[in-house]
Amino acid sequence: MLLEGKIAIIHGAGGKIGGATARAFAREGARLHLAGRTLETVKAVADEIAAAGGKAEAAEVDALDETAVRAHADEVARKAGRIDVTFNAVWIRGDLQGTRLIDMQTEDVLTPITVAARTHLVTAIAAARHMVEQGSGAILTLSSTGSHLAGRDYAKHATGGFGIACTTIEALSRVLAGELGPKGVRVVCIRSDAIPETWSTDPAHAEAIEDMKAYMTAGTVLGRMPTLADVADAAVLAASDRARAMTGAIMNVSCGSVMDMD
């Protein structure tokens, strides 16, 4: 198993991406400390993992609250002796997409940007403080192709501040990688395209969603959109020692909707 015995913290573990990644980590042998704002949803994931024979603990932690995040990381390190992996799958307000910047309120544009920068910085630093002391660790961040669209897609999609937020996460990941690399700590950002499994199932939006799915699928070279399992498996690889030479990297999990030097 790729993550046998590794101590991993997952923020946003009650969400679809965080939950899928937690289950994948557990199958690969990680000992999980799951965190999220709503304890009930996080605990449901932890209980599911435990029922399948894995090891997972749940905690109520707001990933925007620096004091709470640091206290949780300190407690995990105290109990487990170390922190090997941290992954932030916290939602960064993608609901504020759909309106052109010129028609948006400034605060609505800035909200995903500030949320993204704060939560990824806070969770990464909380774990990095322990990883630097032990001389090893992997910090995983989560972005999207909103950071790197083709020209036709920038014209098609009104991403608001979301695309800027994803670019911010990727830049932060590279800066952290440069600072932490000499201490043996890796930083990898996972850049996924949109994942249809996370989209609304409201019948009122069904036609618009199908139209958008067809448009986005047509823009991939694999002829499909990424799945939750694709993202989770990428996170497993990035967190494992198989990726020990990988840092400052943006993992492209877009099914070829984006192809560049990253």
> What are the beta bridge partners of residue 86?
9, 139
Looking at residues 73-82, what average pLDDT do you find?
A: 98
Judge whether 111 lies within some domain: yes
pLDDT in tens, 209-246: 888 889 889 989 999 999 999 999 999 999 999 999 99
Confidence of residue 94 (pLDDT cuts 50, 70, 90): low
The pLDDT score that the predictor gives to residue 61 is: 98
Compute how many other C-beta atoms are within 10 angstroms of the C-beta atom of residue 8.
28
> How many whole angstroms separate alpha carbon 237 and alpha carbon 244?
10
Residue with tokens 């749940």: 58
Judge whether 258 lies within some domain: no
DSSP conformational letter for 188: E
Rounded to 10 deg, the angle between the 16-27 and 39-51 helix axes is: 30
Distance of CA 243 to the CA centre of its chain: 17
CATH code of residue 86: 3.40.50.720
Inform me whether the pLDDT recorded for 58 exceeds 60. Answer: yes
Judge whether 172 lies within some domain: yes
The pLDDT score that the predictor gives to residue 48 is: 98
> How many whole angstroms separate alpha carbon 127 and alpha carbon 6?
14
> How many whole angstroms separate alpha carbon 78 and alpha carbon 217?
46
The pLDDT score that the predictor gives to residue 261 is: 57
Judge whether 158 lies within some domain: yes
* Backbone angles phi and psi of 251, in degrees to 5: -75, 125
Looking at residues 180-196, what average pLDDT do you find?
A: 96
Percent of the chain with pLDDT over 70: 97
Judge whether 104 lies within some domain: yes
Quote the domain boundaries for residue 215.
Answer: 7-253
Looking at residues 39-59, what average pLDDT do you find?
A: 98
168 near 110, Cβ under 8 Å? no
Compute how many other C-beta atoms are within 10 angstroms of the C-beta atom of residue 48.
15
Judge whether 262 lies within some domain: no
Judge whether 148 lies within some domain: yes
Judge whether 1 lies within some domain: no
25 Cβ contact list (under 8 Å, min separation 6): 3, 8, 10, 32, 85, 232, 235, 236, 239
Confidence of residue 96 (pLDDT cuts 50, 70, 90): low
Query: Domain count of the chain?
Result: 1
Looking at residues 177-182, what average pLDDT do you find?
A: 98
Confidence of residue 9 (pLDDT cuts 50, 70, 90): very high
Percent of the chain with pLDDT over 90: 76
Compute how many other C-beta atoms are within 10 angstroms of the C-beta atom of residue 218.
9
